[in-house]
Homo-oligomer: A and B are copies of this chain.
Amino acid sequence: MRVLITGVDGYSGWALALHLLKRGHQVSGIDNFVTRARVAEVGGWSATPILTMRERMEALRREGLPELSFHEADLQDFASVHRILREEAPDAVVHLGEQRSAPYSMIDVHHAVTTQVENLTSTLHLLYALREVAPRAHLVKMGTMGEYGTPNVDIPEGFFEIEYRGRKDRLPFPRQAGSWYHWSKVFDSGDVMFASKIWGLAATDVMQGVIYGTRTPDIDQDALLTRFDFDEVWGTALNRFCVQAVLGLPLTPYGKGGQKRGFIALEDSVQSLTLALEHPADPGEYRVLNQFDEAYSVGELARLVVSEAKKRGLEATIQPTYNPRVEAEEHYYHPLHDKLRKLGYRSSRTLQQSLAGMLDDLERFKARLEARREVVMPRMDFRLPDNRARLEPGTRSDAAPGPGAKGPRPARAAR
């Protein structure tokens, strides 16, 4: 199968490319390297020492793997997207090339606009280019479980049958996202659903849980490592807890720590995307997959990391911190996720089983963590319209305000 991956230089993108190449697919990729630049913008870098794309392609050659057809290009430029799709004539496109950080989108108005505009534009450009030059290709679009928020009912896979005032319909499940970034993914979902309807596009929209882990079985040498972010803006809670444990910093779950989310190992995310590719949606079908393995609360994650860290003699402690997000800290959470299992998905390991390998890698790269120690701890506040000063070097987490931050108070529930 000819698969084009947008964002092929990223955390998921590179791991997926390796896997597809090893399975014998013909893989092409697009990236503009903006994530590397944006992680540097907030003072971070990858915990893993990743190679440049040129070096990565050289490593693939040394491994005897087929060539990755790489295009340095920006999805904001329609002419490039159109040209590359025509050249590559893919059977499927996996669209991972978006701004993927919720905190980044909450830095200030510029970052909010950049996130929503770039993500929407890249998706629209891909949809139009597919319609014009590859109308039968299958689009696999990366969304997020965060699109759904945390409703007090079960979360179906995209659509649900309801009865309301005595009549029935099958409707898209309502979305209640928690950051400008998460809303941008909701918006993408609307656009992909609409393109599928008007143009007969075959589309799979992946509601992805939080991915964790430093490697997959395909990453069997350091030259093939994928990036692993641990700063407050680009690192996920679990990845950052592991780094905090390695650095001897307290683990910082937000607030009460009862916020539950769905999690999936990088290896299993790659497995899921591969299953979606190898079992495509039909023309005109807009298929939504909830892609996660296990649900944990933030507090549970922190306790699991402490437990694993202590086995290795690390002095890990938990220090709950001011919650920069506006979210329920205790809530019902029960998303369904059956469709991938029906396609053959099998979990490769539990989250607990993955922690040892993650801590192994992070201890090995501890010098890189030490060098960016100050960006691990939380400094942002989603309630503030401008977080730039808080992200300046030297801003300590102690400086984070309590709930008395300036400005109007967080609101009561919408009505």
Q: Which of B175, B179, B385, B411 contacts A284 (CB 8 A)?
A: B411
A368 interfacial by beta-carbon distance below 8 Å: no
Q: Which of B178, B411, B414 contacts A199 (CB 8 A)?
A: B411
Instruction: Flag if A154 contacts B164 (CB, 8 Å).
Output: yes
Instruction: Flag if A162 contacts B172 (CB, 8 Å).
Output: no
Alpha-carbon separation in the docked complex, A201 to B164 (Å): 30
Contact with B along A267-311 (1 / 0, CB 8 A): 000000000000000011111000000000000000000000000
Q: Which of B167, B170, B173, B410 contacts A198 (CB 8 A)?
A: B410
Instruction: Flag if A152 contacts B174 (CB, 8 Å).
Output: no
B-side contacts of A178, CB under 8 Å: 194
A78 interfacial by beta-carbon distance below 8 Å: yes
Alpha-carbon separation in the docked complex, A187 to B191 (Å): 10
B-side contacts of A197, CB under 8 Å: 326, 410-411, 413-414
Q: Which of B135, B136, B187 contacts A183 (CB 8 A)?
A: B187
In the complex with contacts A408-B200, A411-B197, A411-B200, A165-B154 CB distance below 8 A = yes
A23 interfacial by beta-carbon distance below 8 Å: no
Interface hits, A384-414 → B, CB 8 Å: 385-386, 407-414
Q: Which of B174, B286, B414 contacts A173 (CB 8 A)?
A: B174
Instruction: Flag if B196 contacts A168 (CB, 8 Å).
Output: no
Instruction: Flag if B283 contacts A411 (CB, 8 Å).
Output: yes
A365 interfacial by beta-carbon distance below 8 Å: no
B-side contacts of A164, CB under 8 Å: 153-154, 156, 160, 162
Interface hits, A308-323 → B, CB 8 Å: none
Q: How large is the interface on A (under 10, 10 to 19, 20 to 34, 35 or more residues)?
A: 35 or more
Instruction: Flag if B201 contacts A411 (CB, 8 Å).
Output: yes
A382 interfacial by beta-carbon distance below 8 Å: yes
From A167, which residue of chain B is reached at the shortest CB distance? B153
Q: How far is the CB of A324 from chain B (nearest CB, A)?
A: 11
Alpha-carbon separation in the docked complex, A285 to B154 (Å): 26
User: Which one, A30-38, A39-47, A115-123, A249-257, is touching chain B?
Assistant: A115-123
B-side contacts of A412, CB under 8 Å: 284-285
Alpha-carbon separation in the docked complex, A385 to B124 (Å): 11
Q: Which of B136, B385, B414 contacts A132 (CB 8 A)?
A: B385
B-side contacts of A136, CB under 8 Å: 408
Instruction: Flag if A199 contacts B408 (CB, 8 Å).
Output: yes
Q: How far is the CB of A38 from chain B (nearest CB, A)?
A: 19
A176 interfacial by beta-carbon distance below 8 Å: yes
A169 interfacial by beta-carbon distance below 8 Å: yes
Contact with B along A171-208 (1 / 0, CB 8 A): 11111111110010011001101101111110000000
Q: How far is the CB of A124 from chain B (nearest CB, A)?
A: 5
Alpha-carbon separation in the docked complex, A415 to B159 (Å): 7
Q: How far is the CB of A174 from chain B (nearest CB, A)?
A: 4
The 5 closest A-B pairs by CB, nearest first: A284-B411, A200-B408, A109-B128, A152-B169, A286-B414
Q: Could you list 11 further interchain pairs (A-B, Cβ under 8 angstroms) beyond the known A120-B120, A153-B163, A199-B385?
A: A113-B121, A124-B180, A132-B385, A153-B165, A153-B169, A183-B191, A197-B411, A200-B410, A284-B412, A285-B411, A285-B414
Could you show 12 A-B contacts with beta carbons less than 8 Å apart? A109-B128, A116-B121, A116-B187, A120-B187, A124-B180, A152-B167, A153-B163, A174-B174, A197-B326, A199-B385, A199-B408, A201-B408
